[in-house]
Amino acid sequence: MAQQINIIQEKQDNILRINKWKFITWLFIISIVMLFASQTSAYLVRRAEGNWVEFTVPIIFYYSTAVLVLSSVFLHLAYLAAKKDKLVQLKTFISIAFAAGLTFLVMQYYGWQDLQTQGVFLKGNPSGSFFYVLTGLHGFHLVTGLFVILFAFIAAFQTKINAKELNRLEVCNTYWHFLDLLWVYLFVFLLYFR
């Protein structure tokens, strides 16, 4: 009887227990949403005031968007591989996701260079300034996401991620997929409200 009570108590404790890293990740995501909500609101208010120069968004931003979406696909494939204990596939897919994330940042840099050849700079017209600030803020957060992937990458190669231990990869996926969706939102927003 006492053993059954202990088992029931353990199950109740597990139900009420929250993974601290998942909780921290969601708090961080909420703060990022608030940051970008304020920035996009400021963008719309400033745009309505006038003196707004429209410019063509370089094509490389379209390609970088596809690369970032592809990185999320590979990170999800890494998660599916880990759930099935396919550790070689896990390592391969997480490596590709990391490489695609780095490629996205490099492409963003080249996109900024293309903007400068059009005469769009950080200083000057508010439309260009906002473009640089919004894409730069996202780029900064993407760097933090790459560090999260790097930690999961190291854990995968140390075989600390497997079907029974998925927390690190779940946190990584949640944050990275959020950053991916955030970029798609920003990119569509910047294209629509030029």
- Give the span between the Cα atoms of 149 and 170, in whole angstroms: 11
pLDDT score recorded for residue 82 = 97
Phi and psi based region of residue 28 (left: phi greater than 0; alpha: psi -120 to 50; beta: remaining): alpha
Rounded to whole angstroms, the Cα distance separating 98 from 72 reads 10
Asked if 100 and 153 touch (Cβ cutoff 8 Å), the reply is no
The pLDDT value given to residue 50: 86
pTM (2 d.p.): 0.90
pLDDT value of residue 61: 98
Domains in the chain, ordered, with CATH? Answer: 2-192 (1.20.120.80)
Q: How far apart are CA 80 and CA 103, in angstroms?
A: 23
What residue type is 130 in one-letter code?
A: F
Beta carbons of 29 and 175 less than 8 angstroms apart? yes
The CA distance from 131 to 118, in Å, is 13
Per DSSP, the three-state class of 105 is: helix
pLDDT of 145-191, one tens digit each? 999 999 999 999 999 999 999 999 999 999 999 999 999 999 999 99
Weakly modelled stretches of the chain, pLDDT under 50 = none
Residue 124 pLDDT:
85
Cα–Cα distance, 118 to 27 (Å, whole number): 39
Predicted confidence at residue 194, as pLDDT, reads 81
